Structure 1
Amino acid sequence: MKKLFGLIVVLLIATTGFAQDASKYRGEREKIHDLVHTKLKVDFNFKEQTMNGEEWVTAKAHFYPSQKFVLDAKAMIIHKVTMNDKTLDYNYDGYKLIIDLPRTYDRDEEFTIYIKYTAQPEKVKQKGSKAITAAKGLYFINPTGLDKNKPTQIWTQGETEASSAWFPTIDAPNQKTSQEIYITVPQKFVTLSNGKLEEQKKNADGTRTDYWKFTQKHAPYLFFMGIGEYEVIKDTYKNIPVDYYVEKEYAPYAKEIFGNTPEMLAFFSKITGVEYPWNKYAQIVGRDYVSGAMENTTAVIHGEKAYQTPGQLIDENVQENTIAHEAFHHWFGDLVTAESWSNLTVNESFANYSEYLWREHKYGKEDADAHLFEDIQGYKNGQNFDKHLVRFHYDDKEDMFDAVSYNKGGAILHMLRNYIGDKAFFEGLNRYLTDNKYSSAEAHQFRLALEEVTGKDLNIFFNQWYFGKGHPKLDISYDYNELRKTVTVNIYQSQSQKFEFPLAIDIFEGNKATRHTVFVKNRESSFILPYTKQPDLVLINADGVLLADINENKVLSDYIFQLKHAKNYAHKREALLEVAKHQDDSKAFNAIAGALDDPYYKIRKLALENINLINKHSKRRIIDKIKRLANNDPKTLVQAAAIETLGKLTEPELKPIFEKALKSPSYSVMGKALVAMYYIDKAMAIKKSKGLPLEVKKIIATPLTRIYLEENDEGELTFIAGNVISGMFLSPDKQIQGLYKKAYDKIASSNNSEAIQNLVNDIVAKGKQYKQYGFDNVGVDLMRKMVQTQKQANKSNEIKNIAIIKDAMARLLE
């Protein structure tokens, strides 16, 4: 599962905490029976949003003899339960189906139960999570076709325990079953499920039955059905089909979006030493999907964010990390599954770290380090310090889907790889996967696999990082002895739990850095390190591996040197932001200007975003350099940042650069150029913005909103309204938040009923989508303020507008 919470960190901080109840122990679910095989036949009532199902579930007693068989089955109508055509007695409370077997079955004695039922997903009563925003199991999208702007689709979402909302099963991650599904749908629809499409049969009533068969074993939460009008774009990895299911509009771009998948499967097969273990790999995009993506075995589903056009893809494929994440799950999560949600780390931490591994392979170490830094910030910015990675005490299983299981877990794997070495780390992954394939496992089994390979006792590492909380908070000081030519590095751990860890320290003497790796064992530690001449810089955590907060006193000259000579992205970024605060100093300004030539594009981009061209030290040559970046930088995101920086000068002589940029295939470049042009040629910028296709306008909504608000363009409030809530609450950029807050205030006081309708519709949609974060309450508060604003504005449509707002409030409170 690729989480959504990383996208909504602002919303989370604003509206919720993370509840845990230490009195509730959450271990592995007891195995009374083992699933063996699941056979399903299903068809759908689109109008009622229900599914007619028949199931043949084969199981066996795990150890103790049993005469009762208990299945999870949520909100269903159970029509019949039989064995060998004989009716069986059962009890059903809407959650558990308890079946009386005709006799006692001993250990490993298989039996098959037939169940005829109706699934009613709209009546399921279970909450979602921070990563998975609903838990109905089976989702009908625009089932009656009334919304002409949205296709009719059906898709399923099983994680954590929602597969039992569409078929009775033992809905636990420590179960494994093979499966076969007969899916009957109108002939216009394409279907996707796990495994191989064995047969398609046209029926006399205009429907078609697709038969999907999956012969290997996987957990029930990984079962999947996807149904809709899709084009299937074919690709391959070796002799394995790799297919992309997309709506017709995006078919030309499917390989640009998903085309790295075969290379990912090859790379992950190589580093794990385990060849991709399944018979196909398909990816489908679902409308209104409840998370980022999901690793259903051989049938991954992605949210609409995956859909991108060339104007976006030329900047960056924002789905690429997710594509890698879900692919790696086919080893860690699908082949070997967490035995309990408490051990979710053996699924999600690996999938998170696969993003680093892929980026390191494809784009180089600095790019991977930048991704790791951003992930670590996501962990640190949440309320996560007091959470263990492996958690046996929590309020609800959905609480496990957070930035600890994902981001921190990935960072811990990076530290572990560094600690034992690459060869041992990847051999350990192979041992773990080989020993536990088609089964379930926990963190201790991963530890034991690594210990077998390395011969090391890794309990200290696992106890503090997997079964402990927090991370080191280090206070650093230095004592120089010029006589002995040594520097003593003093390290004090200020957090409550003491950590033991290796730490890389670089001592810079001019351009030369000498690496020292020390091992910190105590709360207070000191290390005496030699030098030849007075060091220009002592750099702590020089390789960027340790997950820690580091506090040390540096002066401007230290940061200037660090910006120029550090290799790790996090160190360069830290230095750049500190140096940027002092650009009145010519050396500081020149250091920022020097970063415009950095080999890594994110540093060039950051320098452009922070350089102060109004400063007296600004030279023509620097502006000329920025012009060259605007015209020719190999990364369009850097071109866009350069155009934005030049735009702040509002100099007419720059118009040709902006005119060229308005023709760029990059939407990012075009959007920045529109704003820059607005301040030197309003007429041209407005004409260009008005002439853009609606789909392009939606993509570059933020720069257009800036122009329309500046222009006080009442006619564009309707367009702006659809982006306000996302801009105010889902963007981490404070400037963008402020822009959309201004837009909200403008619309709230306007006479534009259509804009108000669009805004409140979006508030209702977001309020329901993020209800578990308390955003429904935020939405109600926003609309109450709108009512008061309308009364104060005293516009001609006041009564109508207030009625629109109150109707929306009622819909949100339903």
Structure 2
Amino acid sequence: MNQHLKRSLLGVLIGGMAGLGATSSLMAQTGIAAPEDPAMKIYRAAATKVNDLVHTKLDVRFDYPKRYLYGKAWITLKPHFYATDSLILDAKGMDIHEVAIVKGGKNSPLKYSYDSLQLHIKLDKNYQATESYNIYISYTAKPNELKVKGSAAITDAKGLYFINPDGTEPNKPTQIWTQGETESSSVWFPTIDKTNQKCTEEISMTVPKKYVTLSNGKLVSQKTNPDGTRTDTWKMDLPHSPYLFMMAVGEYAIVKDTWKGKEVSYYLEKPFEKYAKNIFGNTPEMLTFYSNILGYEYPWVKYSQITGRDYVSGAMENTTATLHGEFMQKTDRELLDNNNYNESVIAHELFHHWFGDLATAKSWSNLTVNESFADYSEYLWLEHKYGRDAADEHGYEAAMSYLSMVQYSGDKNLVRFYYRDREDMFDQVTYQKGGRILHMLRNAVGDSAFFKSLNVYLKANAFKATEAHQLRLAFEEVTGRDMNWFFNQWYFGQGFPELDISYKYSGNKVTVFIQQLQKADKVWQLPLAIDIYSGGKKERHNVTVSNRVDSFTFNFSTKPDLINVDAEKVILSKKDDHRDFSTYVYQYAHAPLYMDRRIAIEAAAEAQGNNPEAVKLLIQATKDKYHGLRTLAAGSLNLKLPAVKAAALPVLTEMAKQDPSSLTKAAAIKQLGELKDPQYATLFEAATKDPSYGVEAAGIEALAELDLDKAYGIAKQLEKDTKGKLVGAIASIYARKGNPADISFVATKFDETSGQDKLNAAFDYLGFLAKVNNTEAVQRGVDQVKAMTVQFNNGQVNTYISNWLQEIARKKDMDATAVTGKDSDGLKQQAAYMRKASDSIRAAANKE
């Protein structure tokens, strides 16, 4: 499962609201479960295995008008160890028509009871662990009539989704897709819906013949029926967990690829067929790369990827058939601003086919062995394909996402046996922190041992349910070391170290003091490298921090230019490093890593007001080899300072015209735009013709500061091809222009957005409504956003939206005091409408 998109929803919310000026106090009102919550006292053990799934065979057809699935299931099981005469299957919200035991090709009815969630079946005899049996069930699945809730990462849990089934929604295809994680597969077929169950599978889907289908495994037959339908049968010969079962149906283009004789295919809506290779084309290389580093070749029969409209998460690693949200469908223009984002999602889901699909977390408490690995796989792919700078930037952003979560909602254990709801496990601890922990583990044991340990782990746990202790044992087997110290502090504990670093020079010796300042009693054991740069040479010292205060003394013949603590920049921590600015100048020029240079740029940004060397460093960094650091440097320049402005303008102008990165180019244009200098009008207007939507957005926003009417005219011309950041830029211009006729553009763009991308669009829309004094438009917009909260059906999302509506309402009330007459009355009416909507959304959130 990919948390939209490489972040959990909480990260999206914090980022979106911070961008709109939301306050910390507002963001803190999240409805986090209180410590005394009774649910937090329940030990979340792995599910007890009474019966084991062996094989599941399904025959399904769909009733589009009713949003029903008519299903027949043949489920082969056997007792796990102890003899049993009963079976409990998860079956949520179904009509059960028949339950029978199948013997000799005949069905014999069985007694059962059903409470709408579980099917309790009395078997025909007492079965031993050596005996298997086959259950037949005829049923109707009614997902739209089931009341369920989602999570921060998975915003709905109906299991089976009919998208535009009546064809009444314009510009939206008719599709069916499933989402099994966490325990929603049992909405569309009876099963034991637990991660520690695995079985083989066969699914036959009967659909109108104009549609294509996709499921797990291989398409083994297609039969055309007299009634204009077709029955496709997909077969999965290797066992996997029920939450990974999937179906998808729709009018898709299928673009074929191959890898070592296995089918690799990409299912997209037909307008995106020509972009398929640009979107997914690196998949075969990923298959080779991951197979090689793991020493374990991709084990499944094929690999397909498909997109789904209105998808309830980022992406899902259904075995051999990953489902992506429609965000994955991007044109070449959109991909210019994507910064390898789609590829990270593709990498994440593919890596799950080893970590999650092959070796599967035995319980949600151990979700780290699925999701932390998938998160870290993004780093591994970026490192392999685009270099360590790109990977380290990705890792830094992930760490910041985790630290932001801690600030607003507190920390949690990585392996967590106490939680309010299993959906809560899908957070920045499991994903982003878990990925950074694996990076530290890799550094602690070395690359060779790290990847060999993963190989040992996979081979030992293939097609089984597993947990973090088994990962530890694999590392101990390979390294010959006891690894409890690492796993106890990072896997079975919470928090992170806060380090204060200082230096003392005495004669020809330097002592490095590292003090742990975290408030918790926990003292961290941290193996790290200290690089000492002296006399033009670098000397590395590997040390271990293990006390509240540690000191390390080193000799030198020439006073060091730089002492670089945590030289590999791997420790997940907060650091306060007490050293002179001159060391940062040296660090930028000589220390090689992305984080070395980033830290130096950030130090220069703080010092640029009174230190000419800081200005020089920032100017130098605008020519950094990595576009992410060029972008950071450009955005860090304070052009209100005359010395900075004089040095920066030629560089920024050149970047705005010619930088090969659209992200960097846009950052430079934004900086120049804040000057509101007419000499750049031609440059800004030229940017509105750039292939990148992001550059166009920066150009038109900058132009609007000089000539709103001209920018407005260009915006009208750009409406016909507007995506990404350009939508928000045009909306901002329309809000300033105040033409009621333009409001429909913003409303329509919001309507066109679906899936979790709609959340980001909601914040843009609310920012627009905050600036507009048009009561009818504001009320319509509030209604649209309110409808979105119903779609997301997530208490955390709804709480944030509610809080932000209250914030805008307060602003409109304040604005009303500055005007009179109808303008004032309108603003007050808008504020009241927002407060009413906020209260309604909050009430719904509190029911979650």
Q: Same fold (TM over 0.5)?
A: yes
Shift of residue 680 of structure 1? Answer: 3.9
Partner of 2:127: 105
Matched, 1:78 2:96: yes
Q: Following TM superposition, by how much is the alpha carbon of 1:308 offset from its aligned partner in structure 2, in angstroms? A: 1.3
Offset at 1:150?
A: 1.6
Secondary structure in 1 aligned to 2:487? helix
Change (3 A) 1:220 1:628: same
Whole-Å separation in 2 of the counterparts to 1:473 and 1:620:
39
**Gap runs ≥5 in structure 2:** 15-26
Alpha-carbon contact 1:544-1:570 (below 8 Å) kept: yes
Q: 1:162 to 1:7 in 2, by over 3 A?
A: closer
What's the offset of the Cα at 1:578? Answer: 3.1
Q: Which amino acid aligns with 2:774?
A: S
- Is 1:62 aligned to 2:80, yes or no? yes
Residue 31 of structure 2 corresponds to 16
1:489 has 2:513 as partner: yes
Please report how far the alpha carbon of residue 251 of structure 1 lies from its aligned counterpart in structure 2 after TM superposition.
1.3
Distance 1:560 1:474, change over 3 A: same
**2:351 is aligned with 1:333:** no
1:542-586 per-residue CA deviation (whole Å, 9 max, x = no partner) reads 211111111233444444443444333234323322321332332
Q: Contact 1:243 / 1:283 at 8 angstroms: preserved in 2?
A: yes
Q: 2:545 is matched with which residue: 504, 520, 538? A: 520
**Is the 1:763–1:779 Cα contact (8 Å) retained in structure 2?**
no
8 A contact 2:40–2:419 mirrored in 1:
yes
Residue of structure 2 equivalent to 1:211:
233
User: Which residue number in structure 2 is paired with residue 236 of structure 1?
Assistant: 258
Report the Cα distance in structure 1 between the residues aligned to 2:564 and 2:122, rounded to whole angstroms.
68
Contact 1:129 1:398 in 2 (8 A): yes
The Cα offsets for residues 122-158 of structure 1, whole Å up to 9 and x where unpaired, read as 2333321211111111111122121113211111110
Matched, 1:704 2:706: no
Q: What TM-score results when the alignment is normalised by the length of structure 2? A: 0.89
Cα deviation digits, residues 623-659 of structure 1 (max 9, x gap) = 2222222222221211221222222333343344334
Deviations 1:577-608 (A, max 9, x none): 23213323322222211111111111100111
Q: 1:648 to 1:456 in 2, by over 3 A?
A: same
CA distance in 1, matches of 2:563, 2:65: 68
Q: Distance in 1 between matches of 2:274 and 2:82?
A: 56
Quote the Cα distance in structure 2 between the aligned partners of 1:202 and 1:724. 40
SS of aligned partner of 1:577: helix
Q: Is the deviation greater in 127-136 or in 565-574?
A: 565-574
- For 2:20, the equivalent position in structure 1 comes to none
Choose from 595, 617, 622 the match for 2:643: 617
Deviations 1:336-373 (A, max 9, x none): 11111111111111101100100000011121111111
Matches within 5 A, 1:73-472: 73-84=91-102, 85-316=107-338, 317-383=340-406, 386-472=411-497
Q: Does structure 1 conserve the Cα–Cα contact (< 8 Å) formed by 2:762 and 2:785?
A: no
Secondary structure of the residue aligned to 2:167 is coil
Q: Could you tell me how far apart the structure 2 residues matched to 1:155 and 1:19 are? A: 35
Write the distance in 1 (CA, Å) between the matches of 2:463 and 2:764: 51
Evaluate the alpha carbon distance shift between residue 557 and residue 245 of structure 1 in structure 2; reply closer, same or farther with a 3 A threshold.
Answer: same
CA shift for structure 1 position 508: 2.9
Alpha-carbon contact 1:476-1:492 (below 8 Å) kept: no
User: 1:498 aligns to what?
Assistant: 523
Q: Which residue of 1 aligns with 2:655?
A: 629
User: Is 598-607 or 626-635 further displaced after alignment?
Assistant: 626-635
Instruction: State the match for 2:2 in structure 1.
Output: 2
Residues 516 and 523 of structure 2 are in contact (CA less than 8 Å); yes or no, is this contact kept in structure 1? no
Question: How much does 1:450 deviate?
Answer: 1.5
After superposition, give the CA deviation of every residue in 1:90-111 in whole Å (9 maximum; x if it has no partner).
0111111111111111013110
The range that moved more, 666-675 or 266-275, is: 666-675
SS at match of 1:151: coil
Amino-acid identity (%)? 45
Q: Tell me, what secondary structure is at the counterpart of 1:623?
A: helix
Let me know the Cα RMSD of the aligned residues.
3.1
Q: 1:25 and 2:43 equivalent?
A: yes
Distance 1:538 1:806, change over 3 A: closer
* CA–CA distance in structure 1, aligned partners of residues 186 and 727 of structure 2: 40
State the shift of 1:725 in Å.
Answer: 12
Displacement after TM superposition at 1:273 (Å): 0.7
Shift of 1:744: 2.5
- The answer to whether the Cα contact below 8 Å between 1:593 and 1:607 also exists between their aligned partners in 2 is yes
What is the CA deviation profile of residues 484-525 of structure 1, one whole-angstrom value per residue up to 9, with x for unaligned ones?
333343433534211112122222336543322211122221
Task: Give the aligned partner of residue 535 of structure 1.
Answer: 560
Q: Distance in 2 between matches of 1:541 and 1:435?
A: 34
Contact 2:256–2:264 at 8 Å: present in 1 too? yes
Q: Return closer, same or farther for 1:706/1:809 CA change in 2, 3 Å cut-off.
A: closer
Question: CA–CA distance in 2 between the matches of 1:461 and 1:179?
Answer: 39
| SS of residue in 1 equivalent to 2:722 | helix
Cα distance change on mapping 1:124 and 1:363 into 2, 3 Å:
same
| Deviation for aligned residue 1:415 | 0.8
Match of 1:576 among 598, 601, 605: 601
TM-score normalised to structure 1 length:
0.93
Separation (CA, whole Å) in 2 of partners of 1:99 and 1:473: 55
CA–CA distance in structure 1, aligned partners of residues 654 and 782 of structure 2: 41
Q: 1:544 and 2:562 equivalent?
A: no
Q: Residues 429-482 of structure 1: CA distance to partner in whole angstroms, max 9, x if unpaired?
A: 11111111111111111111121111111111111111111111112222211x
Query: Contact 2:2/2:314 (CA < 8 Å) preserved in 1?
Result: yes
* Distance across 2 between alignment mates of 1:618 and 1:177: 65
Partner Cα distance (2:345, 2:54) in 1? 31
Would the alpha carbon gap of residues 453 and 769 (structure 1) be closer, same or farther in structure 2, given more than 3 Å must change? same
Asked if the contact 1:385/1:469 (under 8 Å) is kept, the reply is no
Query: Structure 1 residue 89: deviation in Å?
Result: 0.4
SS where residue 381 of structure 1 aligns? helix
Alpha-carbon contact 2:322-2:349 (below 8 Å) kept:
yes
Which structure 2 residues correspond to residues 755-774 of structure 1 after superposition, within 5 A?
A: 756-766=779-789, 768-769=791-792, 771-773=794-796
Distance verdict in 2 for CA 1:738–1:188, change over 3 Å: closer
Distance apart, 1:694 and its partner CA: 4.0
Give 2:92's aligned amino acid. K
Which AA in structure 2 matches 1:771? Answer: N
Q: CA deviation at 1:284?
A: 0.8
Is 1:661 the counterpart of 2:687 in the alignment?
Answer: yes
Query: What amino acid is the match of 2:97?
Result: H
Q: For residues 736-789 of structure 1, give each alpha carbon's deviation from its aligned partner in whole angstroms, at most 9, with x where no partner exists.
A: 999866533233x314x2453134212321354153216158449838976996
Between 1:510-519 and 1:336-345, the stretch displaced more is 510-519
Q: 1:737 to 1:603 in 2, by over 3 A?
A: farther
52-61 or 556-565, which moves further after superposition?
556-565
Name the CA shift for 1:109/1:760 in 2 (closer, same or farther; >3 Å): same
Q: Is the 8 A contact 2:605 2:637 kept in 1?
A: yes
Q: Secondary structure at the match of 1:440?
A: strand
Change (3 A) 1:740 1:478: farther
Q: After superposing the two structures, state which structure 1 stretch, 652-661 or 52-61, moved more.
A: 652-661
Structure 1 gaps of 5+ residues are none
1:698: Cα distance to partner?
Answer: 5.8
- In 2, the alpha carbon distance for the partners of 1:270 and 1:444 equals 25
